[in-house]
Amino acid sequence: MRKIKGLKRRDFVKSITAGSLLLTGPGVWAVNSLKEEGLKSENGLVTKVKNAMLCMQRASWEQGVAGQAILELGDFDLLYLMAKEAVLRQTKEGRLSVLYSDGGATDPAASGEMVMRMAEKTGEQDLWNAHKKMLNYLLTKAPRTEDGIISHLVDKKEIWIDSMYMSPPYLCVAGEVDESIRQIKGMRKALWNGDAQLYSHRWDASKKEFINSKFWGVGNGWAMAGIARVIDDLPESKSEERDTLIEYNTENINGCLNHLRSDGLFHNVIDDETSFVETNLSQMLAYSIYRGVASGWLPSFYLDSANILRKAVHDKVNEAGFVTGVCGAPHFNSPGRATEGQAFFLLMESAYYKLI
């Protein structure tokens, strides 16, 4: 049987779980063992949602956000397996978790942190190599706008708000802090609407016009969650940048809460009451609030709103463990289910149980 640093494979898996608290430091925002009983409670809801997520087919960003959820739950033996699969699906130029015709430039970077963390944990060379290739792709190979902002797509120069979650958090924990901040500021410049305190969805950097100026709920969720992670990952020397990102996220949180429905949910297009009602923004927003309060950058009075959001989401989980009514895969134009909808339930719960 193959050995990893002197351990048999079965012993290694046990060692990841037993030694999970050794994986610490900026970017490792996992619940600790004292919270495990809480995560196992509520009739095994977390386990049901996690199992449903793991049974879903996943594109690059879906593998990444699923992996981040597993990381923040502290399930490092499972994270190792997911990271290895991300590496198996790496393209020659460095994009992780790519299945066949995936055209994303930033989406594959969502898997970057879990691969990096497992490289740090195990020392396995294939994980280190994959992490370095993914990082090098973002820094030197990915298409960019004339302002130096990484395009969301490999074949067009477009800025999507989705990218706010995909690349800046990974760049930050990988040590490219200034580049992470640069990307956030560039995306915000292209997509932020100060009057609405919300982000539009897509900008054509070549034509310098919006492809989609609507305030997509999940897109704003991607932005808040991504920036929340970067805030917590910044070194102490970046206090000014941290204050700026806190301001960015607080404004966005307020902009979303201005449109909160009485049932604790939002419309798919946040300010359009004719668009369908969906579930995912509520858990993405709750995650960002819980994380912000736990880390001290958001006032505790926001917890009242987060708890309303969390209750609404819990009511949308069915017996099989599917988070229902999220902006649904594969086309994301109707309510349904999606890997990211499952993952953000887990992220929300991990943040909640870290706080209490």
User: Which of 96, 337, 64, 83 is closest to 225 using CA atoms?
Assistant: 64
Ranges of each domain in the chain: 3-355
CA–CA gap between residue 341 and residue 284 (Å, rounded)? 9
Cis previous bond, 168, omega within 30 = no
Please give the helix or strand (H or E) that residue 193 lies within, else none. strand 192-193
What CATH topology corresponds to 3-355?
Answer: Glycosyltransferase (1.50.10)
CA–CA gap between residue 157 and residue 155 (Å, rounded)? 7
For 152, the token pair is 């969301």
User: Which of 145, 276, 281, 143 is closest to 223 using CA atoms?
Assistant: 281
Name the region of 143 (left: φ>0; alpha: ψ -120 to 50; beta: rest).
beta
For residue 158, report the phi and psi dihedrals to the nearest 5 degrees: -125, 145
Cα R_g (the chain), whole angstroms: 19
Q: Tens of pLDDT along the chain (356 residues)?
A: 333 333 344 444 444 444 443 454 455 677 664 455 666 555 589 999 999 999 999 999 999 999 999 999 999 999 999 999 999 999 999 999 999 889 999 999 999 999 999 999 999 999 999 999 999 999 999 999 999 999 999 999 999 999 999 999 999 999 999 999 999 999 999 999 999 999 999 999 999 999 999 999 999 999 999 999 999 999 999 999 999 999 999 999 999 999 999 999 999 999 999 999 999 999 999 999 999 999 999 999 999 999 999 999 999 999 999 999 999 999 999 999 999 999 999 999 999 999 98
Look at the block and give the residue holding tokens 């897509």: 202
- The DSSP letter of residue 242 is H
For 56, the token pair is 């879903």
User: Which of 161, 60, 151, 181 is closest to 112 using CA atoms?
Assistant: 60
Q: Report yes or no: 336 and 328 within 8 Å, Cβ to Cβ.
A: yes
What single-letter amino acid sits at 63?
Answer: Q
Look at the block and give the residue holding tokens 């992470």: 180
Whole-structure pTM value: 0.91
CA–CA gap between residue 116 and residue 345 (Å, rounded)? 23
What's the gap between Cα 120 and its chain centre? Answer: 20
Q: At what angle do helices 60-73 and 112-122 cross, to 10 degrees?
A: 50
Instruction: Give me the pLDDT at residue 8, please.
Output: 43
Q: Report yes or no: 219 and 233 within 8 Å, Cβ to Cβ.
A: no
Instruction: Give me the pLDDT at residue 356, please.
Output: 84
Instruction: Give me the pLDDT at residue 11, please.
Output: 46
